[in-house]
């Protein structure tokens, strides 16, 4: 398997192999070049699309749910101000690259459970070029517990194992840990997936509402209506969220989405807790093209 590396040791962005494969902790990872964007790559694990990055333009966010996370990054804090960010789940580090490009001087730590995947991304996708980014292999919940109080402006949870969000990252106990790590003005953003009656997503929103005063959920209308399995992005903060601005931006995007208040969305659902097994919904086979 060729690596398409340039003589200076960095991946050759416009020549070399169009495809790479490696065995990682959670299965088989594949990197494939986008024929329409010469420096862009799609990362998949076990056939499930995980990340898309454009090495020449890290502000390009291909997946609609990642764009929603980017919208929160853009609007929840003053434009251009550097942030201290904790990411749980890394993949190809699309959002860390975006933050580094749009908020120069930001300090970021990524916790990724899959060590071989980190090695693949570091070598093939120029991870070392991202300024002030540290990537640590470890368990997201355990590593969050080691962080000091009031040290993050933003916590992003986008962690999937075999197409499922790890249950321990969805509970009330973990959400309290996130609140502890965040500064008073800080923002928590999480990507999850659900379908049908959205029972898991509603319980997750209710859990956020137990810990944070302000919660919102964004998704495409078809997902909100339960017509298809898909991604939802939840944001939470102890201070006001830019709900109106997010609603306008999501409604006007290439793939329009709705922005719903957390309490309205949760519908008095029961919170998720360590006291009971948390089993995220299993996506149907035809939903695995983008998670």
Residues 76-99: tens digit of each pLDDT: 999 999 999 999 999 999 999 999
pLDDT of residue 4: 33
CA 143, 174, 50, 61 torsion-angle sign:
negative
- pLDDT in the model for residue 163: 65
Cα distances (angstroms) measured from residue 97 to each of 45, 51, 118, 126: 20, 12, 14, 11
Assign a CATH topology to domain 59-276: Rossmann fold (3.40.50)
Which stretch of 15-19, 30-34, 72-76, 122-126 has the lowest confidence by average pLDDT?
A: 15-19
CA distance 166 to 44: 18
Adjacent-strand bridge partners of 191: 233
Q: What is the mean pLDDT of residues 152-168?
A: 88
Identify the pLDDT of residue 10: 41
Could you give the CA distance from residue 244 to residue 249 in angstroms, rounded to a whole number? Answer: 9
Token duo for residue 13: 């962005």
Asked if pLDDT for residue 70 goes beyond 80, the answer is yes
pLDDT for 5: 30
Question: How many CA atoms are closer than 13 Å to the CA of 93, on its beta-carbon side?
Answer: 33
Say what the pTM is: 0.91
φ, ψ for residue 277 (rounded to 5)?
-60, 135
Query: What percent of the chain has a predicted confidence (pLDDT) above 90?
Result: 80
Average pLDDT, the chain: 91
Three-state helix/strand/coil letters over 103-164 = CCCCEEEEEECCHHHHHHHHHHCCHHHCCCEEEEECCHHHHHHCCCCCCEEEEEECCCECCE
- Check if the beta carbon of residue 73 is closer than 8 Å to that of residue 191: no
Give the pLDDT of residue 214.
Answer: 98
- Residue 286: the pLDDT is 63
Mean pLDDT of 100-127: 96
Domain boundaries, the chain: 59-276
Dihedral pair phi/psi, residue 14, rounded to 5°:
-125, 0
- Write the CB contacts of 61 (distance below 8 Å, at least 6 apart in sequence): 52, 67, 69, 70, 94, 98
* pLDDT one-digit tens code per residue, 208-225: 999 999 999 999 999 999
Could you tell me which residue, 123 or 7, shows the higher pLDDT?
A: 123
Burial per residue of 239-276, b for 16 or more beta-carbon CB atoms within 10 angstroms, e otherwise: eebbbeebbebbeeeeeebbbbebeebbeebebbeeee
Residue 272 has pLDDT above 90, yes or no: yes
Average pLDDT of the residues in 136-144: 97
State the pLDDT at residue 11.
46
The pLDDT value recorded for residue 290 is 41
Q: What local confidence, expressed as pLDDT, does residue 165 receive?
A: 84
């Amino acid at each position: 398997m060729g690596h398409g590396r340039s003589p200076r040791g960095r991946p050759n962005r416009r020549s070399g192999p169009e495809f790479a494969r490696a065995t990682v902790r959670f299965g088989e990872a594949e990197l494939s070049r986008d024929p329409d964007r010469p420096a862009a790559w799609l990362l998949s694990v076990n056939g499930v699309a995980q990340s898309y990055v454009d090495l020449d333009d890290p502000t390009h966010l291909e997946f609609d749910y990642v764009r929603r996370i980017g919208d929160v990054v853009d609007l929840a804090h003053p434009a251009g101000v550097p942030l201290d960010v904790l990411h749980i789940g890394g993949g190809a580090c699309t959002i860390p690259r975006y933050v580094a490009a749009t908020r120069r001087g930001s300090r970021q730590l990524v916790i990724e459970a899959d060590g071989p995947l980190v090695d693949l991304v570091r070598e093939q996708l120029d991870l070392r070029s991202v300024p002030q980014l540290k990537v640590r292999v470890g368990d997201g919940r355990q590593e969050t517990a080691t962080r000091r109080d009031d040290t993050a402006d933003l916590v992003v949870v986008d962690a999937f194992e075999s197409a499922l969000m790890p249950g321990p990252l969805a509970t009330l106990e973990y959400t309290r840990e996130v609140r502890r790590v965040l500064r008073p003005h800080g923002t928590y953003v999480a990507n999850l997936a659900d379908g049908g009656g959205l029972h898991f997503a509603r319980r997750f929103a209710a859990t956020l509402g137990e810990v944070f005063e302000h919660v919102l959920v964004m998704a495409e209308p078809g997902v909100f209506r339960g017509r298809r399995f898909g991604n939802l992005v939840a944001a939470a903060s102890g201070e006001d969220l830019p709900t109106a601005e997010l609603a306008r931006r999501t409604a006007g995007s290439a793939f329009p989405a709705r922005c719903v208040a957390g309490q309205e969305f949760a519908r008095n659902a029961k919170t998720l807790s360590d006291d009971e097994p948390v089993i995220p919904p299993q996506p149907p086979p035809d939903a695995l093209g983008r998670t």
